[in-house]
Amino acid sequence: MEARALICDENQRFSVEDVVLPDPGVENVVVKTACSGVSIGTEFALIQNKISWGPYP
């Protein structure tokens, strides 16, 4: 299954990318998102290195 994702890299740069997700299991559902927002509070503080999500995996 293909989707679009907001990706944060190891330098805390964001990009929108096409990704391939595993097919849902028998106990899962797929929800089609019409639109989505990004918080200008938390994400903006993250970009400015005022907060951290922890070490990059």
* pLDDT of the chain, 57 residues: tens digit per residue: 999 998 888 887 889 999 999 999 999 999 998 988 877 788 778 777 788 777 766
Is 3 a domain residue?
Answer: yes
Torsions phi, psi for 21 (to 5 deg): -110, 155
Is 28 a domain residue?
Answer: no
Domain range for residue 13? 1-21+37-57
Number of domains in the chain: 1
Is 47 a domain residue?
Answer: yes
Structure-derived torsion over alpha carbons of residues 32, 8, 55, 47, reported in degrees to the nearest 10 = -120
Is 29 a domain residue?
Answer: no
pTM of the model: 0.57
Contacts 24+ apart (CB under 8 A), 48-55: 49/12, 53/8
On whether the CB atoms of residues 3 and 19 are closer than 8 A, the answer is yes
Is 32 a domain residue?
Answer: no
Is 54 a domain residue?
Answer: yes
Is 9 a domain residue?
Answer: yes
